[in-house]
């Protein structure tokens, strides 16, 4: 114990044998170990993860403890403080969304597959893990985020910053949010809404006082259209998530959605697929699963395109009711539904971290068309 005269270098050497399972480098090389302090019979240090929603948190902690016990002293008391500093590749000469670390587009090919529901609940799950999260509801054809968060009667306020009018996002359940619904009248004709939508999206990215965010989730309209192009042309998008149901028709449209992001001129990494309404589970029989829309379609799509499968969300009455009540299901943290969203959010945060560690910086898409 104390008389072995352990020093900080011994601890660092031991921790440099612990590999970050996703990033495939050791924790010391990745600069994830901070504040090593030795006391009598005890060592304390901090592990700075790449996301607070890291699904490997406990595994990493265990491996650190094992390495020190094996290589330094089997008796040493170890106190590991796990924190996170969310990574980004978007900083630099970025002017739009300058304080947002990761812009994540949530898309679906087909309408009504639950894209907004998934966006709302992933945001809550990421926030519950400790991240700073915002939602930009860019779904011009049915901006449902305000209703899902019970915010439909709220109006954003404006603050003047450096002589410029900035819109303050609405804060509900710890999520900063803004919606197209606040800017584009829902009853305006479709032909107007198209060009207005692109303009409004630029405004919602550029003129909103977002503050510092780890993740900004953009709820896109279904399909592939002007709003999608405006997004990738105006802001560096970290990656896209495709939401689908297991149904054949939804999968066919989901393919179109993901192919759009994968086009060489657009080249936004697809972070993964979420399968919503994967199976029906009655509240009174949570063990029973009924595959109403077919089984495993989302997983198949992910495998086919060699993309990560982020998770499956059951079809449950509670999710629909929570959405209608204005309080997303993931806020009821002890439910099975919240667990499904938590797992999916962790898988998403993990893919963002891997993407930031391995791929090149996000760029705005330059297009001449």
Ligand X SMILES: Nc1ncnc2c1ncn2[C@@H]1O[C@H](COP(=O)(O)OP(=O)(O)OP(=O)(O)O)[C@@H](O)[C@H]1O
Question: DSSP character for 27?
Answer: T
Dist CA 78 CA 61 (whole Å): 10
Torsion of CA 338, 352, 216, 189, to 10 degrees: -90
Binding of ligand X at residue 112 (CB under 6 A)?
yes
The answer on whether 234 is annotated among ligand-binding residues is no
Q: Is 188 annotated as a binding residue?
A: no
- Interacting stretch for ligand X, rule CB under 6 A, among 10-18, 82-90, 107-115, 342-350? 107-115
Is residue 272 part of the contact set for ligand X (CB under 6 A)?
Answer: no
Instruction: Judge contact between 97 and 235, C-beta under 8 A.
Output: yes
Q: Which is nearer to ligand X, 181 or 222 (CB)?
A: 222
Q: Is 142 in the site for ligand X (CB under 6 A)?
A: yes
Q: Is there a binding annotation on residue 223?
A: no
- DSSP, res 26: B
d(CA 218, CA 137): 6
CB of 297 to ligand X, least distance (A): 14
When asked if residue 116 is in the footprint of ligand X (CB under 6 A), the reply is yes
Among the candidate windows 36-44, 84-92, 111-119, 200-208, which touches ligand X by CB under 6 A? 111-119
CB of 142 to ligand X, least distance (A): 4
Q: Would you count residue 331 as binding ligand X (CB under 6 A)?
A: no
- Tokens for 328, please give them: 């997303």
Contact flag: residue 137 with ligand X (CB under 6 A): no
Q: How far is the CB of 4 from ligand X (least distance, A)?
A: 55
Smallest distance from ligand X to CB 146, Å: 12
Q: List Cα–Cα distances, 35 to 27, 49, 80, 81, in angstroms.
A: 14, 14, 10, 10
- Does position 122 interact with ligand X (CB under 6 A)? The reply is no
Q: Is 271 or 277 the residue whose CB approaches ligand X more closely? A: 277
In sequence order, the β-bridge partners of residue 166 are: 159
Question: Applying CB under 6 A, does 121 fall inside the site for ligand X?
Answer: no
Residue 294 interacts with ligand X (CB under 6 A): yes or no: no
| 245 binds ligand X, rule: CB under 6 A | no
The single residue among 63, 101, 115, 193 that binds ligand X, judged by CB under 6 A, is 115
Q: Kindly indicate which of the ranges 137-145, 178-186, 190-198, 264-272 contains the residues binding ligand X, using the contact rule CB under 6 A.
A: 137-145
Kindly list the distances between the CA atom of residue 207 and the CA atoms of 98, 148, 235, in Å, as whole numbers in the listed order. 11, 24, 13
3-class DSSP assignment, residue 90? coil
Nearest-angstrom CA–CA distance, 193 and 282: 39
CA distance 190 to 211: 32
Strand 309-315 to strand 42-49: parallel, antiparallel, or no bridges (unpaired)?
Answer: unpaired
- Nearest distance in Å: CB 322, ligand X: 8
CB of 151 to ligand X, least distance (A): 15
The answer to whether 276 and 292 have CB atoms below 8 angstroms apart is no
DSSP 131-194: --EEEEE--TT---HHHHTT-TT----EEEETTEEEEPPEEETTEEEEEGGGTS-TTS-HHHHH
The answer to whether 105 contacts ligand X (rule: CB under 6 A) is no
Which of 24, 248, 304, 320 is in the footprint of ligand X by CB under 6 A?
Answer: 320
For residue 180, which of 197, 167, 194 has the smallest C-alpha distance?
197
313 binds ligand X (CB under 6 A): yes
CB of 99 to ligand X, least distance (A): 27
Should residue 138 be labelled a site residue for ligand X when binding is judged by CB under 6 A? no
**Stretch 185-244 residues interacting with ligand X (CB under 6 A):** 222
Query: 144, 198, 238, 342: which one contacts ligand X (CB under 6 A)?
Result: 144
With beta carbons less than 8 A apart as the criterion, state whether 45 and 11 touch: yes
- Among 135, 251, 277, 330, the residue binding ligand X under the rule CB under 6 A is 277
What one-character DSSP code corresponds to residue 330?
A: G
The SS3 call for residue 75 is: coil
> Could you list the residues that contact ligand X (CB under 6 A)?
108, 111-117, 139, 142, 144, 222, 276-277, 313, 315-316, 319-320, 323
């Amino acid at each position: 114990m104390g008389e072995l005269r352990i020093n900080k270098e011994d601890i660092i050497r031991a921790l440099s044998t612990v590999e970050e399972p996703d990033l495939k480098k050791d924790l010391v090389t990745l600069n994830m170990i901070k504040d090593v302090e030795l006391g009598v019979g005890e060592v304390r240090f901090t592990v700075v993860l790449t996301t607070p929603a890291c699904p490997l948190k406990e595994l990493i902690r265990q491996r650190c403890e094992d390495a020190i016990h094996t290589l330094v002293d089997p008796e040493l008391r170890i106190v590991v403080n796990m924190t996170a500093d969310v990574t980004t590749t978007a900083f630099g000469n970025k002017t739009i969304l300058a304080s947002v670390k990761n812009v994540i587009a949530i898309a679906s090919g087909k309408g009504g597959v639950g894209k907004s529901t998934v966006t709302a609940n992933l945001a809550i799950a990421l926030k519950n893990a400790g991240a700073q999260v915002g939602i930009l509801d860019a779904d011009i054809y049915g901006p449902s985020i305000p209703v899902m968060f019970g915010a439909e009667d709220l109006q954003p306020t404006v603050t003047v910053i450096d002589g410029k009018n900035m819109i303050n996002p609405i804060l509900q359940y710890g999520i900063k949010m803004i919606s197209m619904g606040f800017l584009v009248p829902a009853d305006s004709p479709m032909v107007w809404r198209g060009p207005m939508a692109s303009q409004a999206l630029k405004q919602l990215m550029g003129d909103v006082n977002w503050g510092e965010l780890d993740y900004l989730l953009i709820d896109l309209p279904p399909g592939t259209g002007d709003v999608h192009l405006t997004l990738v042309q105006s802001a560096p998008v970290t990656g896209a998530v495709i939401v689908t149901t297991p149904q054949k028709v939804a999968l066919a449209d989901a393919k179109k959605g993901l192919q759009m992001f994968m086009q060489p001129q657009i080249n936004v990494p697809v972070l993964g697929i979420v399968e919503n309404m994967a199976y029906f589970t009655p509240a009174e029989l949570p063990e029973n699963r009924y595959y109403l829309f077919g089984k495993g379609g989302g997983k198949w799509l992910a495998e086919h395109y060699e993309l990560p499968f982020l998770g499956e969300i059951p079809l449950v009455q509670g999710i629909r009711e929570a959405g209608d009540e204005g309080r997303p299901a993931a806020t009821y943290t002890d439910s099975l539904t919240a667990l499904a969203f938590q797992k999916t959010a962790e898988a998403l945060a993990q893919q963002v971290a891997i993407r930031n560690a391995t791929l090149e910086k996000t760029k705005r898409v330059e297009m001449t068309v």
